Amino acid sequence: MTNGFFRVAAVAPHVRVADVDANVDVIIRYAAELDAKGVEVVVFPELSITGYTCGDLFHTELLLQKALAGLRRIEDFTRDKTIDLIVGLPVASEGTVFNCAAHVSKGVSTIIRKTYIPNYNEFYERRWFAPAPNDEYQPVILTHGVYIGMEICEDLWVTVPPSCSLAMAGAEVIFNLSASDELVGKHASSLTLIRQQSARCKAGYVYASAGRGESSSDVVFSGKAIVAEQGRLLVANDRWNPDDNCVIADIDIEALRHDRIHSSTFADCARRHGRQAPRLTEIPPESPFDMDYGLTYRTIDPHPFVPSDPTSLADTCEEVDHILVTALSQRLTAIGCRRAVIGISGGLDSTLALLITVRTFDRLGYDRSGIIGITMPGFGTTDRTYTNALEMMRCLGITMREIPISTAVMQHFADIRHDPHVHDAAYENAQARERTQILMDVANQEEAIVIGTGDMSEIALGWCTYNGDQMSMYSINAGVPKTLIRSIVSWFASQAEPKLAATLADVVSTPISPELTPADSEGAIKQKTEDLVGPYELHDFFLFYFIRFGFSPRRIYYLSLNAFRGAYAPEVIMHWLRTFCRRFFTQQFKRQAMPDGPKVGSVGLSPRGDWRMPSDATAAMWLRQLDEI
C-alpha cells in the first residue's frame, strides 16, 4: 500500500479443464505481468488451478496431487516477488475433499475452505466437496499493510456471508474466488450484490469468476473480473470480450478506515457478533507516501459533488430539489408561516434560493405573491445582475421590491467616521449588514421569514459577513456546494419557459461576485470572488476530502494533482490549498452561529450535526505538513 492506496487485480483467465500444468503456467504469467505493474494482491477464480468443471475428476488421486503440486509451483514463484496470489484448488483432507482458496505470499500459503456448498438447480457441488466445519472462522491476513479476507462464490450469496464476519474481524478488502454461470439477468444481480456487500462491510471487494475454457456441457461461464469499494463499482471487465480477462484498481484504504472509525455502529456490530478486530500489536505499518506514485488504476473525479454522467447529474439535481423543497415546506408549516423574504442579487445563490422557495409555495398551495423578493442595489451592483434579478422575479410572479442601500450606508459611514474612499472590510461589510437589516425588518413587517442564500462552499471558507449575509431565519442553501448550485440552476433552466431560461443561463455564466466594490470603468463586475479566495472547483474538492474522509492536506494535495492534471499548475493548487486550510480553521466562529438549514449530501457543516470544532482550533499542523512537501 502506497499513499493509502492498495493495488489489486482480478483475473478470469482461459483455463484448460483438468490440465493443472497449463493452468498454473497461465496464472504465473498473469502474476508476473501484474507484479511489474505494482499490483499487490491478485485473485483468480474458484478452483482456478484445476478448472471448476472437472466433475467426478475431483475425486481422482492424480488431479488432487497435481493440484497441490501446482500450488507449490505458485509458492516458489512468489518467493522473490512482491505480489500475492489468491488461487483456488481442491484439497483432500479429513477423509473428504474441500473446495479451497489459497493466499500465497513469499512462498507461504494460507488456505481456507468454502463455507457454503450449493446443491440446487445447476449446482451439485456436494457430490464432490464438503463444507467447512460450522465452528471454523476464516482468518484475517495482514499483507502489504492491509487486512484482507477470502470467501468463495456461494459464500457471497447466502443470508449472512462470511465476508460480514471477516469485516467485523478487521478485514478491509475481501477477495472472492467464484464460478458463477451466466443466466439472463444474473449479471446485473451479481453486480448489485457485490456493490451492496462492499457497502455493508465498508470494504473493498475483489471478485474473479470462472470463464472461457470451462465446460459448456450444461452451463456457460463468461469470466467476470470486478472490483467494488464501499458500494461503488470501481471497475468491471467486458465479460463477453475474450481478450478482456483482467482488471486492476487502486482501493482507497485510508477512506475505508476513516468511515469505519467515523461510523460508531461498525465496531458495535463487531462486538455484538463476537468477532474481535486485530489487536493493537497487529496495527499495520503506516502507508509510505510517495508524491510521484502513479495513481494509474483509479480516476479521481475533480468534481466530487457533481456527477459527470448527464443522467446521474439530472437525477441528483432533481433529488436536491425535492430535499430542499421538503425542508422548507416543513419549516413554513411548522411555524405557520405563509410569507418569505429573499434578497435577490442576480447571482447563483439567491437564484437557487428563489427557485426553491417558489417550488415550495407551489407545493403548499400558497400564493407566490407571498414571496417578497428584494433587490438592494449598492456601490458595486452592475446592470447585468440588477437586470437578471428583476427579470427572474417578474418571470416567477413574486412580489418585487427595490430598496437601494447607498444612501443608508453613506449615513452609516458618517456615523462611524469611515472614509467611503477606503474600500476595506468595513466598507464591504457595512453593505452586507445593511442588506441583512432590511431583510430582517421587512420580514417582521410582513410576518415572514428571511430565506438565507449562502451556500456550503462560502460557509466553509467563511466568505460571508458575520451578522450580515451569514445570518437568516432559514439557510436553504447551507448543504449545497457552489459547484453543484451551478448545475442545479442550469437544470432548472432546461425546464423553464424561454424568457426565464435565458435569464437563468445568464446567471450561470455571470462571474461570481459579492459586488461590494464599484464596477470597472465599463460597468462590468470588478470584484470577482474566485480571484480573491480561489477557484470554487478546487475549494469544493478540498472540502469534500477534508470533511468526508478526514484526509490530511498532503493526501488532498496528491489527489488534487491527479484530479486537476493539466488544469492547474501544482504551485497554484498548493497556494489555494493553503488558503483553504487557513480560512477553514479561522472562520469556524461563523459556522458556530449558523442558522438552521438542511443537509443535502454526504458532507455537511452544521455545528449541531456534522462538523463540531472549537472556533479557536489552529491550522498550524495542517499548514506545516504542506510546508514539508
- How far, in Å, CA of 506 to CA of 588, rounded? 33
Q: Which amino acid is at 315?
A: D
3-state secondary structure 11-41: ECCCCCCCCHHHHHHHHHHHHHHHHHCCCCE
Q: Please, are residues 208 and 44 in contact by the beta-carbon 8 Å criterion?
A: yes
Q: Please, are residues 27 and 10 in contact by the beta-carbon 8 Å criterion?
A: no
Q: Please, are residues 564 and 540 in contact by the beta-carbon 8 Å criterion?
A: no
CA-nearest of 381, 391, 407, 358 to 501 is 391
- How far, in Å, CA of 407 to CA of 434, rounded? 11
Q: Within a 10 A sphere around the Cβ of 463, how many other Cβ atoms?
A: 23
Rg for the chain, CA atoms, rounded: 30
Strand arrangement of the beta sheet that strand 204-209 belongs to: 141-143, 146-152, 173-178, 204-209, 224-229, 232-236
Q: Please, are residues 577 and 556 in contact by the beta-carbon 8 Å criterion?
A: yes
> Is 114 a known active-site residue?
yes
Contacts for 272 with CB less than 8 Å, ≥ 6 apart: none
DSSP states of 334-400? HHT---EEEE--SSHHHHHHHHHHHHHHHHHT--GGGEEEEE---TT--HHHHHHHHHHHHHHT-EE
Residue found under cell 400558497? 366
Residue found under cell 462486538? 271
- How far, in Å, CA of 331 to CA of 350, rounded? 19
Contacts for 449 with CB less than 8 Å, ≥ 6 apart: 331, 332, 335, 337, 339, 340, 341, 443, 473, 474
Q: Please, are residues 63 and 90 in contact by the beta-carbon 8 Å criterion?
A: yes
**Helices first, then strands: H and E counts in the chain:** 22, 17
Q: Which of 66, 114, 202, 590 is catalytic?
A: 114
Q: Which amino acid is at 196?
A: Q
> Is 590 a known active-site residue?
no
> Is 153 a known active-site residue?
yes
Q: Which of 153, 246, 464, 581 is catalytic?
A: 153
3-state secondary structure 38-103: CCCEEECCCCCCCCCCCHHHHHCHHHHHHHHHHHHHHHHHHCCCCCEEEEEEEEEECCEEEEEEEE
What does the DSSP 8-state code read for residue 287?
Answer: P
Contacts for 429 with CB less than 8 Å, ≥ 6 apart: 465, 466, 468
Cα dihedral sign, 132-137-143-148:
positive
Q: Which of 46, 151, 154, 515 is catalytic?
A: 46
The set of cell numbers assigned to 292 is: 510521484
The set of cell numbers assigned to 204 is: 473493498
- How far, in Å, CA of 112 to CA of 103, rounded? 8
Q: 386 exposed, middle or buried (CB, 10 Å; 0-12, 13-18, 19+)?
A: middle
- How far, in Å, CA of 100 to CA of 502, rounded? 64
Contacts for 15 with CB less than 8 Å, ≥ 6 apart: 23, 26, 48, 51, 210, 211, 212, 213, 214
Give the residue numbers marked as catalytic: 46, 114, 153
